[in-house]
Amino acid sequence: MDIQNRLKIMMFFQYFIWGSWLATFGAYLFNTLHFSGFEVSMIFSTKGLAALITPFIIGIIADKFLQAKYLYLFCHSVCAIALFYAASINNSAILFWVMLGNALAFMPTIALSNSISYHCLDKYNLDTVTVFPKIRVFGTVGFIIAMWTVSLCKFELSNAQLYIACAASILLVIYSATLPNIAVSKSQKQSWISYLGLDAFVLFKKPVMAVFFLFSMLLGAILQITNTFGGAFLHDFGKISEFKDSLIVQYPAILLSVSQMAEVAFILTIPFFLKKFGIKKVIMISLIAWTLRFGLFAFGDPTPFGFVLLILSMIVYGCAFDFFNISGSIFIEKEVSSDIRASAQGLFMTMVNGIGAYFGSILSGIVVDMCTHDGNKDWQTIWLIFALYALVLGIVFYYSFNYDHTKSKSAA
């Protein structure tokens, strides 16, 4: 089997695990365990809290001390154990700590899967910008299949979704052992800064990279909000008698999976947009799409017109997520040297899914509780608040990020 197909299998299972619970876990916590908005946001904040710590540390270890595939295998082993235990818990405080353990192990694997892919493509002289999106898209396919599996099996409000994720983790652990070996960087003379892997922070000396990482953090605050609350939002239409039997209420995860289907299409357009327009315009498109994502959610419902708005929201999500998350990773890969590749990807993960996601989770939970009256959530106001945030962020980014991709190409 050629290297591209081997990496596609890795990506498939990497995101199948996440897709098994990420978009449906919030509804399970709200509707089955009856947690508050703050309790749910705290549990989901474990992703951000973990990404503050382990991705960068694991990236340093992968660059300097231990092969990436062994770290990858170990992390997913921990995930399998944590997910299995989490399925038996109904106390929010205990569940927070168990899901934190899962997140501490899982979040580094996202950056590691990217680093492993970039290394292999580099080794086989394959163009990263052109080939990586075609590999990464199989992660999205895995995410979609996981969501459909959970929804069609009626596991959206059940702990069975965690058992599915656990089983997929075990399969990936076994497969990880077959991945190519990646030599660690062992230069003869290293400063203590380099030895500790802190040389990736040199990127902050470049103003354009400093601004990029800052906005990565701010945009990371909204990256997973609809995954946290989207399922609960759609399930709440079941409280309205005329909508309780609608397909949206019966199979919300399938509707949400349209977002990932859109990702499949948009991922494949990334090479064209990056080469044609550059990273600044691509991220601007992403921010506009995020504004539309939340704005369309605000006015969507199970009526024919409202359903069209929901479908449009799912479609623009593909653009919103991919044009930032995937393009940002590729941008960093092109801007850094190979000896700090894993560290730089870990730093990007820390800014986006760490600092940004953590504070985004906490603040979004507060917003949801503030807009909850007598047990009913004012979802329209909630989504409009998030839409306004994305719009303001886009305006500030346009005037702050000064990067000319045409000059960068000429220099290259």
pLDDT digits (tens, 9 = 90+) for 331-383: 887 777 666 666 677 678 778 877 888 888 788 888 888 998 887 889 999 99
The residue-averaged pLDDT of 176-189 equals 68
pLDDT in tens, 244-299: 888 888 888 888 888 888 888 888 888 888 888 888 889 999 999 999 999 999 99
Q: pLDDT value at position 185?
A: 57
Quickly name the fold that domain 3-180+198-402 has: Growth Hormone; Chain: A; (1.20.1250)
* Distances 192 to 56, 65, 197, 332 between C-alpha atoms, Å: 17, 14, 9, 24
- Look at residue 193 and tell me whether its pLDDT is greater than 50: no
- Look at residue 145 and tell me whether its pLDDT is greater than 90: yes
The residue-averaged pLDDT of 38-58 equals 83
Report helix, strand or coil for 373. Answer: strand
Residue 154 burial by Cβ neighbours in a 10 Å radius (0-12, 13-18, 19+): exposed
Q: pLDDT value at position 192?
A: 42
- Look at residue 305 and tell me whether its pLDDT is greater than 90: yes
Dist CA 64 CA 346 (whole Å): 13
pLDDT-wise least confident of 141-150, 310-319, 337-346: 337-346
Q: pLDDT value at position 298?
A: 94
Scored b (16 or more CB within 10 A) or e, 85-108 reads bbbebeebeebbebbbbbbbbbbb
Counting residues of the chain whose pLDDT is more than 90, the rounded percentage is 34
Dist CA 211 CA 208 (whole Å): 5
Q: How is the chain split into domains, by residue range?
A: 3-180+198-402
Q: Residue 45 half-sphere exposure, CB side, CA atoms within 13 Å?
A: 19
Q: Residue 297 half-sphere exposure, CB side, CA atoms within 13 Å?
A: 33
pLDDT band at 410 (very low <50, low <70, confident <90, very high): very low
pLDDT band at 200 (very low <50, low <70, confident <90, very high): low
Mean pLDDT computed over every residue of the chain:
84
The residue-averaged pLDDT of 206-211 equals 81
Maximum mean pLDDT: which of 23-37, 90-104, 110-124: 90-104
- Look at residue 151 and tell me whether its pLDDT is greater than 80: yes
Q: pLDDT value at position 228?
A: 77
